[in-house]
Structure 1
Amino acid sequence: MSDIPTGGLLTILFSLIFFSAFFSGSETALMMLNRYRLKHLAESGHLGAQRAQTLLETPERLIGLILLGNNFVNIMASALATLVALRIGGEPAIAISTGLLTLIVLIYAEVIPKTFAALHPELIAFPAAHVYTVLLKLAWPIVWLINRITYLHLRLLGITNKDAANNALNSEELRTVVNEAGAMLPQENRNMLIGVLDLDKITAEDIMIPRNEISGIDLSDNIDEITEFLRGTHFTRILVFDGSIDNIVGFIHTRRCMQMMMRDELTKENLRAHIKQPYYVPEGTSLNRLMNNFQRDRRKNGLVVDEYGDVQGLVTFANLIEEIIGEFTTDPTTSISDVSRQNDGSYLVNGSANLRDLVRTMHWNLPTDGPKTINGLIIEHLESIPEPNTSLLLAGYPIEILQTEDNMVKVLRIQPDLYRN
């Protein structure tokens, strides 16, 4: 070292600081890589991503290599700085050089490169992966020895590889990833993904058509009334019952009925001959399980029953799809027949309107973890059947009861524009 001029020593010193910055920044960049994006790029044939993925499969080797290199260049830089200080100012300059080197390393070899790497990890990590792949082969014996010593000490502390964290995402973490996707994923696609993740949380009871809204063929009616009903229906499969909905016979396809009508063969006997047995669904069945059951049994609809076997409503495959992709129409006032917008900005709402439909389509922040209809929500809130002209503030929304009938709220007015957080 004594034969090297001071200018040469300074050049080597600044080169070592540069290498220290490389080790520090590349370490941060590699650890900040998005593992799922990295896997996608690697499978797409990106060489830098493939090498980075290989290095990260054994992070203890990579960290050992980086720390080996970083500590080596930092110690060498400290020794050179001391030598240069002795040449320039003697022993009193050593303290000054130590403080100055500490400041330079902290700013230019630690803070700046690590901050830049954290903001742009792929820009640093992929080129660095090529360098580390070569360095790991060259320094393999030393890295192996360091790792063996490290494992020995960790084992004495009771720490093994089995304690490593699992990088798999649960449903809630995946929901956060989807919500944070921002502009990278259109809002409609985010809503669909969230809908899929929610299938395990939502039950058949949450999306069913209530029994008081179910229509179908009543075999106790005369054939003319049945014919008139068939001409006005828009359903593909029709519920058939005898006398009341508590006496279910089954379902029949509308196409079969139309064929019998065209051949003038529509009779109750012929209707019974083409009826399929009903499919019953417990009200607490999750939508994920319900969808699997529909696919397995090749069903398009089912009758939701409570713990006593009483029919509570009807759930269809279309209801399931709407939970994922949303309503089939984009205009909220037309996609929910129970909602009517008024000129003053308020909405008239049918008391039997499903709360989940209102929240999903109208974007109202109403609680959905209790009653299934807005009538039930109001009654639960008041703990009584309200009289007409009763006003209340529910979840921050001013609501006015306009009409009650049969111990339930029939029509109400809601003014969402007055909502306050």
Structure 2
Amino acid sequence: MDSIPLSAQSAILILLLALSGFFSMAETAMMAANRFRLRSAANQGSRGARMALDLLGQTDKLLGVILLFNNLVNAASATLVSVITIHLFGNEEWVLGVSTLGVTFLILVFSEITPKVMGAKHANALACFVSYPLTGLLKGLYFVVWFVNLFVTGLLRLLRLNGEGNQENQTLSSEELRTLVLEAGAFIPPKHKSILVNLFDLESITVEDVMTARQQMEAIDISDPIDQIRHQLATCYHTRLPVFDEDTNAVIGVLHVRRVLSESLEGRLDKATLQEMVAKPYFIPASTPVYSQLQFFQENRERLGLVVDEYGELLGLVTLEDIIEELIGKFTTSTHDATERLTWNEEGCVLTDGSQHLRELNRKLGLNFPLDGPKTLNGLILEHLQDIPEAGLSLKIAGIPVEVVQAEDRRIRNVRIFRPRPVQGS
């Protein structure tokens, strides 16, 4: 080493530091690279992305070849700095101490921190680039890396850390996917983001959450006078109506209004004709997940189902449109919708029906009523009080002030909700 000129030694030192920096940058870039983006680039024909994915598929060998060269280069750099320092300042103890501090500083700045920051900030692009030399080095020194990894594998087995589950770490749960969508920023338009988030919610809600309650159902009572039925058919909002006989639990079937429209207009409609046109009812358990029900509607070619509880009692009905609205939001139709009035007034309150769904109130008003119990505001208040309240009673549920405005027939008809005050920071 003494025979090599000082200028050549300095050039070799710079080269060693550069190589060390390259391997540090490569290690950080490969470990920080987004595998899903690499997979997308590989599907589009990027050879570097394919090679990067191959290397990441054998992480032990990838880290083995990187750290093998990185440690060799760092050790050579430390030795060379000591030689240069002794050549310039002699073989004193303080000289060796200064050389140690000097090589530590050089390695930290030029070979560790700076390259790693670069690798972390541009991980995906650099992973595709460094995969070429790393693949070549791994093929050329495969036996050396394999021999070193024998000891690594033995140590991991001794510590019972076999590294299993690596593939599971690369899969995303529904909550992680949800977070990914919410943090996508400008990459996903707001409306598309809303649809995707609602799609994740379909797995956790049931048809009972989105159904129209029995008290709000528009239905035909076959026992009513035929003139009253004709008038109801002529003025109804919907194309399909449940048909029952006196008791709403005694459902006969579902009537498609358009099929009887001509008969009704020409005055030929009677109860016998009406019963012939009624289709067989389609019943749905209340606990059916909405996502599963969407598939059932498609498989059975149905658009409307009657929701029943575990005892067979009718709870309400759900339509295909109800489920689609959970995905894309409410349709703009001429149908009367009580949720259209769900806006805060100037006094910071809103008057709503007791049968209003809690999920709709939370969505429209930005509230946080609990959803793990009753589905309606009426049910929530009754559960909270364990009694049927009188008008004028005020209470607070989940930090939200509410006032019972009207209560009758064993249920709460109207409720006034007050906007909760924001929590003051400490």
Give the TM bin, normalised by the shorter chain.
over 0.9
- Find the counterpart in structure 2 of residue 298 from structure 1: 301
The structure 1 residue matched to 2:352, chosen from 345, 349, 371, is 349
Contact 1:397 1:419 in 2 (8 A): no
Output the CA distance in 2 between the equivalents of 1:105 and 1:112: 10
The structure 1 residue matched to 2:268, chosen from 257, 265, 269, is 265
- Find the counterpart in structure 2 of residue 100 from structure 1: 102
- Find the counterpart in structure 1 of residue 19 from structure 2: 19
Select between 172-181 and 274-283 the one with higher mean Cα deviation. 172-181
Q: Deviations over 1:209-243 (max 9, x none)?
A: 11111121111112211111111112121111111
Output the CA distance in 2 between the equivalents of 1:282 and 1:46: 50
Change in CA separation of 1:362 and 1:28 when aligned onto 2, cut-off 3 Å: same
The 5-angstrom pairing of residues 217-232 of structure 1 reads 217-232=220-235
Contact 2:342 2:364 in 1 (8 A): no
The structure 2 residue matched to 1:205, chosen from 208, 216, 227, is 208
Output the CA distance in 2 between the equivalents of 1:33 and 1:299: 46
1:33 partner letter? A
- Find the counterpart in structure 2 of residue 241 from structure 1: 244
Cα displacement (A) at 1:74 = 0.6
Q: Secondary structure at the match of 1:402?
A: strand
The structure 2 residue matched to 1:146, chosen from 145, 148, 157, is 148
- Find the counterpart in structure 1 of residue 256 from structure 2: 253
- Find the counterpart in structure 2 of residue 326 from structure 1: 329
Q: Secondary structure at the match of 1:200?
A: coil
2:63 partner letter? I
Cα displacement (A) at 1:262 = 4.6
Change in CA separation of 1:248 and 1:17 when aligned onto 2, cut-off 3 Å: same
What TM-score, normalized by structure 2, do the two folds share? 0.91
- Find the counterpart in structure 2 of residue 404 from structure 1: 407
Select between 260-269 and 192-201 the one with higher mean Cα deviation. 260-269
Contact 1:403 1:409 in 2 (8 A): yes
Q: Does 1:28 align with 2:28?
A: yes
Q: Does 1:57 align with 2:63?
A: no
The structure 2 residue matched to 1:275, chosen from 269, 273, 278, is 278
Cα displacement (A) at 1:417 = 6.1
Contact 2:406 2:412 in 1 (8 A): yes
- Find the counterpart in structure 2 of residue 110 from structure 1: 112
Output the CA distance in 2 between the equivalents of 1:368 and 1:138: 61
Contact 1:329 1:335 in 2 (8 A): no
Q: Secondary structure at the match of 2:30?
A: helix
What TM-score, normalized by structure 1, do the two folds share? 0.92
- Find the counterpart in structure 2 of residue 4 from structure 1: 4
Output the CA distance in 1 between the equivalents of 2:226 and 2:267: 12
Q: Deviations over 1:15-43 (max 9, x none)?
A: 21111111112111111111212211211
Contact 1:386 1:401 in 2 (8 A): yes
Output the CA distance in 2 between the equivalents of 1:358 and 1:37: 39
Q: Secondary structure at the match of 1:247?
A: strand
Contact 2:65 2:138 in 1 (8 A): yes
Q: Does 1:360 align with 2:363?
A: yes
Change in CA separation of 1:231 and 1:399 when aligned onto 2, cut-off 3 Å: same
Cα displacement (A) at 1:161 = 5.7
Change in CA separation of 1:48 and 1:334 when aligned onto 2, cut-off 3 Å: farther
Cα displacement (A) at 1:372 = 0.8
Q: Secondary structure at the match of 1:215?
A: coil
- Find the counterpart in structure 1 of residue 135 from structure 2: 133
Say what the alpha-carbon RMSD is for the aligned residues: 2.3
The structure 2 residue matched to 1:195, chosen from 198, 213, 222, is 198
Output the CA distance in 1 between the equivalents of 2:278 and 2:394: 48
Cα displacement (A) at 1:139 = 2.4
Cα displacement (A) at 1:138 = 2.5
2:153 partner letter? Y
How many matched pairs? 419
Cα displacement (A) at 1:363 = 2.4
Change in CA separation of 1:69 and 1:49 when aligned onto 2, cut-off 3 Å: same
Q: Deviations over 1:273-326 (max 9, x none)?
A: 121111111111111222222222111121111111111111111111122222
Q: Secondary structure at the match of 2:202?
A: helix
Long gaps (5+) in structure 1:
none
Output the CA distance in 2 between the equivalents of 1:309 and 1:263: 38
Select between 156-165 and 350-359 the one with higher mean Cα deviation. 156-165
Contact 1:396 1:419 in 2 (8 A): no
Output the CA distance in 2 between the equivalents of 1:157 and 1:344: 65
Percent same amino acid among aligned pairs?
Answer: 39
Cα displacement (A) at 1:397 = 2.5
Change in CA separation of 1:111 and 1:391 when aligned onto 2, cut-off 3 Å: same
Select between 254-263 and 147-156 the one with higher mean Cα deviation. 147-156
Output the CA distance in 2 between the equivalents of 1:122 and 1:164: 20
Change in CA separation of 1:20 and 1:219 when aligned onto 2, cut-off 3 Å: same
Output the CA distance in 1 between the equivalents of 2:216 and 2:317: 9
Select between 68-77 and 359-368 the one with higher mean Cα deviation. 359-368
Output the CA distance in 1 between the equivalents of 2:338 and 2:29: 48
Output the CA distance in 1 between the equivalents of 2:313 and 2:86: 94
Contact 2:259 2:277 in 1 (8 A): yes
Output the CA distance in 1 between the equivalents of 2:400 and 2:406: 18
Q: Secondary structure at the match of 1:352?
A: coil
1:145 partner letter? F
Cα displacement (A) at 1:383 = 2.9
Q: Does 1:289 align with 2:285?
A: no
Cα displacement (A) at 1:402 = 1.9
Q: Deviations over 1:145-168 (max 9, x none)?
A: 323443344345555464535121
Contact 1:214 1:313 in 2 (8 A): yes
Output the CA distance in 2 between the equivalents of 1:319 and 1:222: 31
Change in CA separation of 1:158 and 1:420 when aligned onto 2, cut-off 3 Å: closer
Change in CA separation of 1:404 and 1:420 when aligned onto 2, cut-off 3 Å: farther
Contact 2:304 2:320 in 1 (8 A): yes
Contact 2:343 2:365 in 1 (8 A): no
Contact 1:303 1:313 in 2 (8 A): yes
